[in-house]
């Protein structure tokens, strides 16, 4: 059975909970989900509404203008030494640590 995501997204109780929801960013900020659920919009929304919303999981973020993850890693070589080599890892690091540490990008 195909699920009509647009219909689900417009149910008032759900719409309020997912107004800023971005399913790809949800996976970036919550990498443990890649081992638990399928990598698709339906699975992300379902997980967020069932668990993530109540657990306070992040589902959106804004990067500063001009942020290039490859330059961020290159200008901060300690990141590579720490195993941060992918776009999701670099974005997570900048959001959780780099911006507070005023790291250059």
Q: Where are the alpha helices (DSSP H) in the chain?
A: 5-9, 12-17, 23-29, 41-47, 53-55, 69-75, 77-81, 87-93
Band the pLDDT of 98: cuts 50, 70, 90: very high
Average pLDDT of the residues of the chain: 88
Q: Is the pLDDT of residue 13 over 80?
A: no
**pLDDT tens-digit series, residues 68-91:** 999 999 999 999 999 999 999 999
- Can you tell me the mean pLDDT for 31-42? 93
What pLDDT score does 18 carry?
77
Band the pLDDT of 1: cuts 50, 70, 90: very low
Q: Is the pLDDT of residue 37 over 80?
A: yes
Q: Is the pLDDT of residue 6 over 80?
A: no
């Amino acid at each position: 059975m195909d699920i009509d995501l647009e219909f689900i997204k417009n149910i008032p109780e759900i719409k309020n909970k997912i107004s800023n929801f971005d399913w790809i960013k949800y996976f970036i900020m919550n990498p443990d989900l890649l081992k638990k659920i399928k990598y698709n919009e339906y699975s992300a929304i379902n997980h967020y509404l069932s668990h993530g919303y109540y657990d306070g999981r992040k589902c959106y973020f804004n990067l500063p203008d001009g942020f290039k993850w490859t330059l961020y890693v290159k200008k901060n070589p300690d990141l590579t030494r720490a195993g941060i080599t992918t776009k999701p890892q670099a974005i997570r690091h900048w959001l959780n640590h780099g911006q507070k540490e005023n790291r250059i990008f």
